[in-house]
């Protein structure tokens, strides 16, 4: 059994553009290293990971290749062409995987979740090995309201019990044939999902949840790097 990892890193990060001079989030510095390098290193620290595929825009491929080489990560990391959407980027990497075994596993992880830990990655691999598909998630803490959008704003229509809600994180993954099937069916129907789990669910694949951690957040908004620095400082 081989374990592959896909890091889609073709995003531009418009929500942080005003504070970063337009630099994509994956290249921002966190404790002296690009966010992307932190994410790559987290998976390389797990011995069961066989190879990592990073999907990036054409214009950034050489930059990412140089970063990988500069930090001595070339052995297990391959750069592939990303797409216009996350789903396209993952599909491109999924097609590039040298996987033929039915029990091979693939994990997809946001390149800008740099604080994922080895224990959570290992638990996710174990869950996929046992169940076929799994994601990392955390329980909802706040009360969840379902709303209806009106001209004057949102109107509450129901309160959803928190025990029925999980906040999805990454990695998300499955056995390679299952994820390829889910992506193939989505492409045939021109369906665009919000994450890999949504495609697996649509394909009728049961997806199990692995307990995540608040540290494993996505660098999205100004101030998130400060929070990541705080966590890294212990």
Q: Are strands 144-150 and 133-139 parallel, antiparallel or unpaired?
A: unpaired
In the β-sheet with 49-56, what is the strand arrangement from edge to edge?
77-81, 49-56, 3-8, 105-108, 166-175, 133-139, 208-211
pLDDT tens digits, one per residue of 185-229: 999 999 999 999 999 999 999 999 999 999 999 999 989 999 999
**Which residues contact residue 102 at a Cβ distance below 8 angstroms, ignoring those fewer than 6 apart?**
175, 177
Residues linked to residue 137 through DSSP beta bridges, in sequence order: 168, 211
pTM attached to this predicted model: 0.93
pLDDT tens digits, one per residue of 59-86: 999 999 999 999 999 899 999 999 999 9
What domains does the chain contain, in order, with CATH numbers?
A: 3-134+171-232 (3.90.550.10)
């Amino acid at each position: 059994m081989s374990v592959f990892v896909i890091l889609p890193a073709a995003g531009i990060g418009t929500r942080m553009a005003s504070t970063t001079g337009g630099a994509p989030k994956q290249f921002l510095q966190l404790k002296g290293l690009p966010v992307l390098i932190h994410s790559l290193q987290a998976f390389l620290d797990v011995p069961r990971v066989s190879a990592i595929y990073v999907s990036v825009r054409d214009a950034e491929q050489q930059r990412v290749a140089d970063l990988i080489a500069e930090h001595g990560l070339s052995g297990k990391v391959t750069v592939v062409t990303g797409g216009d959407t996350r789903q396209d980027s993952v599909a491109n990497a999924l097609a590039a995987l040298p996987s033929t075994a039915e029990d091979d596993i693939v994990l997809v992880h946001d390149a800008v979740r740099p604080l994922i830990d080895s224990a959570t990655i290992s638990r996710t691999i174990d869950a996929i090995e046992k169940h076929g598909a799994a994601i990392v998630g955390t329980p909802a803490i706040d009360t969840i309201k379902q709303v209806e959008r009106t001209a004057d704003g949102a109107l509450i229509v129901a309160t959803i019990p928190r025990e029925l809600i999980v906040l999805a994180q990454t990695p998300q993954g499955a056995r390679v044939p299952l994820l390829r099937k889910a992506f193939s069916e989505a492409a045939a129907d021109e369906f665009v999902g919000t994450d890999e789990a949504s495609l697996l669910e649509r394909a009728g694949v049961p997806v199990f949840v692995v307990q995540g951690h608040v540290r494993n957040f996505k660098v999205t908004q100004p101030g998130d790097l400060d929070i990541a620095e705080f966590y890294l400082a212990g």
